[in-house]
């Protein structure tokens, strides 16, 4: 089932907005994460951890969840599907994994913010830089897959193509 063109474009626009927003929020988060682990100013480190918690809760998590939901709706409503092409399947799996890791990491982020707020030396906290950079890399890979759309269909996609071609042959043979 495909969506009408106007709806498909609206859903695509919403998916692009949430995905790019997620990417931008992660970039802002990384800037704060670098500040938190590199600065020697206790007040700056404390502020960075508190801002990281706010960005994660108010921007990154909602944008990640919205991107997943809207991406699934878009995939189901277009000929690309969710399971027909390897690039779509890879992008879906990467996004689901990134979102799951993000949700697990959100507890750590909140714990770090609370610890930084109550600590006289928040510079001793560990930060989340490896996860932040890993999340950014996953999002960039998903972006590249979306732009380049590497060829290759899954077994499911191949069987759907064969089914569609069979329907076309039957309709052509039956004539008007």
pLDDT in tens, 103-142: 999 999 999 999 999 988 898 898 899 999 999 999 999 9
For 3-29, letters b (16+ CB in 10 Å) and e give beeeeeeebbebbeebbebbbebbeeb
Q: Inform me whether the pLDDT recorded for 147 exceeds 70.
A: yes
Q: Which of 32-41, 66-75, 154-163 has the lowest mean pLDDT?
A: 154-163
- Identify the pLDDT of residue 15: 97
Q: For the chain, give the longest Cα–Cα distance.
A: 82
List the end-to-end C-alpha distance of the chain, in Å, as a whole number: 24
Q: Inform me whether the pLDDT recorded for 1 exceeds 80.
A: no
Report how far residue 12's alpha carbon sits from residue 7's, in angstroms, rounded to the nearest whole number.
8
- Identify the pLDDT of residue 164: 77
* Count of Cβ atoms closer than 10 Å to residue 65 Cβ: 15
Q: What is the mean pLDDT of residues 90-95?
A: 96
- Identify the pLDDT of residue 95: 96
Q: Inform me whether the pLDDT recorded for 73 exceeds 60.
A: yes
pLDDT band at 176 (very low <50, low <70, confident <90, very high): low
Q: What is the mean pLDDT of residues 26-44?
A: 96
Asked if residues 105 and 29 have their Cβ atoms less than 8 Å apart, the reply is no
Phi-psi region of 93 (alpha: psi -120 to 50; beta: other; left: phi over 0): alpha
25 against 121, higher pLDDT: 25
Q: Inform me whether the pLDDT recorded for 90 exceeds 80.
A: yes
- Identify the pLDDT of residue 165: 79
pTM for the full model? Answer: 0.89
Q: Inform me whether the pLDDT recorded for 174 exceeds 90.
A: no
Q: What is the mean pLDDT of residues 57-77?
A: 97
């Amino acid at each position: 089932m495909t969506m009408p063109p106007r709806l498909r474009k609206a859903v695509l626009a919403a998916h692009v907005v949430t995905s790019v927003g997620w990417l931008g929020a992660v970039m802002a988060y990384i800037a704060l994460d670098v500040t938190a682990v590199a600065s020697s100013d206790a007040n700056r480190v404390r502020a960075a951890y508190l801002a990281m918690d706010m960005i994660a809760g108010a921007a990154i998590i909602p944008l990640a969840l919205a991107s997943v939901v809207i991406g699934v709706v878009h995939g189901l409503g277009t000929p690309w599907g969710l399971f027909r092409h390897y690039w779509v399947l890879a992008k879906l799996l990467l996004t689901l994994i990134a979102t799951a890791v993000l949700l697990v990491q959100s507890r750590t982020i909140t714990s770090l913010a609370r610890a930084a707020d109550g600590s006289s030396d928040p510079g001793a906290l560990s930060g989340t830089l490896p996860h932040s950079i890993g999340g950014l890399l996953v999002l960039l890979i998903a972006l590249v897959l979306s732009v380049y759309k590497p060829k290759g269909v899954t077994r499911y996609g191949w069987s759907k193509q064969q089914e569609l071609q069979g329907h076309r042959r039957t309709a052509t043979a039956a004539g008007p």
